[in-house]
Chains A and B, each alone.
Chain A
Amino acid sequence: MAVHRLTFPTTEEAIRELRAGDEVTVDGHVIGIRDRTQIRIFDQGVEPPMDLRGAFLLHTAPGVRKLGTDAEGRGRYEKVCIGTTTSARMVRFTEPLGERYGVRAICGKGGFPDEAIEPMRRLGMVYFAIVGGAAALETTQIEEIEEVAWEELMPECLWKFRVKDFGPLTVGIDAHGNSLYHDVQAEANRRLEGILERL
């Protein structure tokens, strides 16, 4: 299980280097996104006002404090407590995020079900597992909230964070058809059968 350091946005080539179970620390930019953000993009057909090519998406509804507005009337915010939400609810957006917008990584907690494995393999994407609930630490790794779009969806806006030493993340699903979640679940079911026989 190798250890990597990656700066986002990144390339397909860099993503294909990663293997399920590897440890990754991230620098650069992270885009915060959640249920309602993706419903707006894909179900309501509204183009996202941010470039998602090569992007790292984080499943989050951050706790923030409003500082004011800039010259164009957009809100400026500072972080209060930023953590990660359960990913499984949002798995159906994986394929279009990769295909239409060139997203390279999706990060959340709890993992994606098996339906994410094939699109991630084909399109060159990975799922990163963050430590769910470890928001105090995660907040210190976010340097700044650089941009916020769709403020009316607060807190499920489209956020652009600049991060440093973001992690450690674990590659949960790689771009080669491997999923730690699939393997752990299969093994747990096998063990469960044995346990139930002994009861």
Chain B
Amino acid sequence: MTTAVDTDLYGVVEDAAAYLYVWALKDIPQDLRDALADAAARETSIPGQRVLNTILKNVQVADDGGNLVCQDTGIAVYTCRVGERFPLHPVRIYQALKAGTERATIEHPLRSNSVHTLTRENTGPNTGYRLPIVHWEFIPDWDGLDVKCVPKGSGSENMSFLKMCVPADGVKGIKQFVLESIVGAGGKPCPPGIVGVGIGGSADYAMYLAKEAIARPIGTRNADPHVAKLEEELFQLLNETGIGPMGLGGDVTVLNCHIEHADTHMTLNPVAVNYQCWAARRASAHIGSNGDVDYDREA
């Protein structure tokens, strides 16, 4: 049975999704702006400086003209944190997110990227079978809903890598795989960006965690001190490779490295790498059970 509350909240979530998708594409978070400005200040290679200054100018032009920061409207990925007592069922939340994605694409209009994976025929306004992609987390004893929209570009998503290291490879194996992946990716994922790493769990879950990692505010650290130390270490090492902005050589290869982890089987040691380009777009909404919406570019 669909109640009045349900209908209202459905509309609120749909509106929020439509708003978040376009907002994320146009107005990048402050922490990312700061990280890009820092990068431009410390880069010493001439092509690298040229790239970073152009990126800063581009962000400004997008602000001034109300245009998209990057042309690739990506694949719409949402992360939902659903409170136990949020009155709209996740089935309806998903429908609302899908409807919002479609509406934003048609009304703006945004470039639609979604195709059937075999026939390559367009499947809808940035929607299709199992699109958009939604990550779920359920929060006990809470009545709110947080929605984060992360439009994910293909240039960086194509630079995703998974390796089932063995336990004997240890932490060294993890570091080696991340470093080799980023050197191999070169300029293709529009560096400098955020290197997301997922470790532990299973093969599929490690990649899921890597995607969560790229959606965090830039430079935040994992709560587990062992993992945080690895984030710091990889961040330094990745910038020693010299790949540089757009792969043209320089000091800044990555803006940061984020890691998410899960406990795993004693004979597993999975490592997943998911790259997020410099246009690390994200935007969030906090939705109350009464339908109040609080938009938040920084979450």
Contacts and interface: CB of A to CB of B under 8 A. Distances in A.
Specify whether A and B are partners.
yes
Contacts of A135: 58, 67-72
B173 to A, nearest CB: 9
Contacts of B87: none
Given A133-B279, A170-B50, A187-B249, A192 B71 contact: no
Q: State which size class the interface on A falls in.
A: 35 or more
Contacts of B242: 184, 187-188, 191
B187 A110 contact: yes
A180 B279 contact: no
A195 B247 CA distance: 19
Contact of B46 (A1, A82, A132): A1
B51 interface: yes
A140 interface: yes
B72 to A, nearest CB: 7
Contacts of B46: 1, 21
Contacts, number: 153
Interface in A160-199: 168, 170, 172, 180-181, 183-185, 187-189, 191-192, 195-196, 199
Contact of A136 (B61, B72, B241, B249): B61
Given A132-B190, A140-B65, A155 B111 contact: yes
Nearest to A137: B58
Contact of B51 (A63, A110, A131): A131
Contacts of B158: 86
Contact of B109 (A80, A136, A180): A80
B155 A184 contact: no
A85 B153 CA distance: 11
Interface of A: 1, 21, 23, 60-63, 65, 80-86, 88, 109-111, 129, 131-140, 155, 168, 170, 172, 180-181, 183-185, 187-189, 191-192, 195-196, 199
Interface of B: 46-47, 50-51, 54-55, 57-59, 61-62, 65, 67-73, 109-111, 153, 155, 158, 172, 175-176, 179-180, 183, 186-190, 237, 240-244, 246-249, 277-279
23 contacts: A62-B71, A63-B111, A80-B109, A81-B68, A81-B111, A86-B155, A88-B188, A111-B188, A129-B246, A131-B54, A132-B190, A132-B246, A133-B55, A133-B69, A134-B54, A135-B72, A136-B61, A137-B58, A180-B249, A181-B187, A184-B244, A184-B247, A192-B241
Given A86-B155, A170-B51, 4 more contacts: A60-B71, A110-B189, A139-B67, A172-B248
